[in-house]
Amino acid sequence: MKERKEANEAKEVKEEEKQKSGGIAAFFDLDGTLTALPSLESRLFRTLRYRREIRAKNYLFWLREALRLMPRGFNAILYANKMYLRGLKILDERGEGDGDISSWHKDGHQAEGQASAPPRRTPRLPVPTFFAHAIEAVVWHAKQGHEIVLISGTLEPLARGAARAMEAALAARGIAVTARVIATRLEEKDGKFTGKILGEAMFGEAKARAAKRLAGEMRLDLGRCYAYGDSLSDRSLMALVGRPAAVNPSNDFASIARTRGWPVLIWERKESSTQRCPDRIGTSAVRREIVEKKEQRSAIAQCGDSCARNAGKWLDGFRDRRAANE
């Protein structure tokens, strides 16, 4: 009787711990944290530009929106300006136009943070390459029964594609996981992107607000939750949870992490999963940060150059038409 009672008590303790673990989530940033740079959106932009799928006038729309967002800073231009996608058709699995999917995110009805659905794949979406140590971290959290949440400033279709790829990687190990996705949502109309975003661009404090909303919906204990990020954009999210960790941090972010006592992890390829000493963290981060900023500014500069050229053509055509009418 005594042994049976002890066994029942042990079982109850395990059940209680299991229920508690259900109130814990692991929030993962995507670009630079789970996957290698350049970012998924940068790769998508290059592909679209190479295939000439971005209409010339979209650069003008992009420039106009950049000027409007300029008072809010560089990050607002980078994360909230999606006018280069204006008029771009959504593709189905075969890469063909699909006019029957305009209801997906149309008018913003889909809730953020919902489990990743299986929308169609498209061959032009970049395939994410995960850091090996990042997958090991996700595996560990999954085995603990933690909710897995991808929270990223990238486009939601890209984030959902990354979630599906990550789920497949875990399934290959016999681990069934459904990752939740919080990312920058795009407005659609008649099967095409409008270039506008729905709600907030998911960077900075917007990540923390989204995590709070999800915690309320899922009854998460944020004090026991985990968060992994690589840049200053993730600082607010990481300050929100009780178990943050800086991954492949930028130079400034590594300094903040050390000041606040957050673990610093290096998940870059061919690197050790253990923590590094500060000088090596700084050296690697500086190199990565410089490359990333150059790529971002180069993309914006290229957009600006195209805007200028196309604006000139448009103005010349306008003058010709006005002269003909006169």
Q: Which residues contact 172 (CB under 8 A, 6 or more apart)?
A: none
For position 103, what pLDDT does the model report?
A: 32
Closest CA to 234 of 249, 218, 212, 220: 249
Each residue's pLDDT expressed in tens, for the chain with a length of 326 residues: 555 555 555 445 445 554 554 599 999 999 999 999 999 999 999 999 998 999 999 999 999 999 999 999 998 998 999 999 999 987 533 334 443 333 334 343 444 555 554 444 444 678 889 999 999 999 999 999 999 999 999 999 999 999 999 999 999 999 999 999 999 999 999 999 999 999 999 999 999 999 999 999 999 999 999 999 999 999 999 999 999 999 999 889 999 999 999 999 999 763 333 343 333 334 444 454 445 555 555 555 555 555 545 544 544 444 444 444 44
Query: How confident is the model at residue 127, as a pLDDT?
Result: 82
Q: Are 29 and 138 in contact (CB under 8 A)?
A: no
Residue type for position 116: S
Facing residues of 181 across strands? 150
**Cβ neighbours of residue 89 under 8 Å, at least 6 residues apart?**
97, 98, 191, 192
Separation CA 302–CA 107 (nearest Å): 31
d(CA 160, CA 121): 10
| Calpha distance 132→115 (Å, rounded) | 23
Tell me, what's the pLDDT at 196?
Answer: 95
pTM above 0.85, yes or no: no
Residue 180 to residue 252: CA distance in whole angstroms = 29
| Distance in angstroms (rounded) separating the CA atoms of residues 102 and 165 | 24
pLDDT of residue 305: 55
CA dist 285 and 233 (Å) reads 15
Which long-range contacts does 219-227 make (Cβ < 8 Å, 24+ apart)? 219/23, 220/23, 220/24, 220/25, 220/147, 221/20, 221/23, 221/24, 224/20, 224/23, 224/24, 225/24, 225/25, 225/26, 225/27, 226/24, 226/25, 226/26, 226/27, 226/141, 226/146, 227/26, 227/27, 227/28
pLDDT of residue 302: 56
Cis peptide bond N-terminal to 38, omega within 30: yes
Burial of 254 from C-beta contacts in 10 A (0-12 / 13-18 / 19+): buried
Task: Determine the length of the chain.
Answer: 326
Q: 307-312: which pairs have CB atoms within 8 A and are 24 or more residues apart?
A: 307/59, 307/60, 307/62, 307/63, 310/56, 310/57, 310/59, 310/60, 311/60, 311/63
Q: In whole angstroms, what is the distance from residue 66 CA to residue 46 CA?
A: 19
pLDDT of residue 267: 92
